[in-house]
């Protein structure tokens, strides 16, 4: 069950959910929605194909995921900038880009901060900024995902909270940088 939770609330899946919420209830900008969803959600899901050939190699899938994200996220952000978008979609895409950079640096330095913690806390911060108190409810997803990652021994509590905390901070900063708040 814990492994299923990690797939249901994987980073690209939660990103797609956040972008759908933006589109349905805030900004009906289909171009921004499509760019963000494709480059932050759909393309990164291709890392799952690795598990078809290597069903139990979650470390390999994590590595491939970081590689795909490091390529896809900057392209998505660049396309939004080229389209002259400085909105909630662009701010959340920028936060994903900053998060992947920081997580790669931390991993290279020997500290395994949680991508899943980051993948929940970033969108939860964005949803809170855009939807107020109702958006805060999305932070509750940190509980089942955190418990699952701890149960699977994928992360320690410090690694999970580090990923979540950094992501919340970087998302908030991204919204400030692009003038969304």
pLDDT tens, 120-146? 999 999 999 999 999 999 999 999 999
Question: Residue 150 has what pLDDT?
Answer: 96
Contacts of 123 (CB under 8 A, 6+ apart): 14, 15, 17, 18, 92, 138, 171
Question: Residue 50 has what pLDDT?
Answer: 86
Q: Kindly report the average pLDDT of the chain as a whole number.
A: 95
pLDDT bucket at 180, cuts 50 / 70 / 90: very high
CB atoms within 10 A of CB 152: 13
Question: Residue 25 has what pLDDT?
Answer: 97
pTM: 0.94
d(Cα 12, Cα 113) in Å, to the nearest integer? 17
């Amino acid at each position: 069950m814990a492994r299923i939770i990690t797939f249901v609330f994987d980073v690209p899946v939660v990103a797609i959910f956040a972008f759908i919420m933006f589109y349905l209830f805030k900004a009906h900008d289909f171009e921004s929605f499509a760019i963000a969803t494709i480059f932050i959600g759909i393309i990164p899901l291709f890392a799952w194909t690795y598990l078809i050939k290597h069903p139990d190699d979650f470390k390999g899938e994590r590595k491939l995921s970081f590689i795909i994200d490091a390529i896809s996220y900057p392209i998505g952000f660049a396309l939004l900038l080229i389209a002259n978008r400085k909105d909630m979609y662009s701010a959340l895409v920028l936060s994903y880009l900053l998060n992947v950079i920081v997580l790669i640096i931390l991993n290279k330095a020997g500290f395994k901060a949680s991508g899943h913690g980051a993948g929940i806390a970033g969108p939860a911060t964005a949803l809170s900024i855009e939807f107020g108190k109702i958006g805060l409810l999305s932070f509750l997803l940190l509980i089942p995902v955190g418990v699952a990652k701890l149960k699977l021994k994928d992360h320690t509590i410090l690694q999970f909270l580090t990923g979540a905390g950094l992501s919340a901070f970087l998302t908030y900063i991204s919204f400030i940088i692009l003038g969304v708040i």
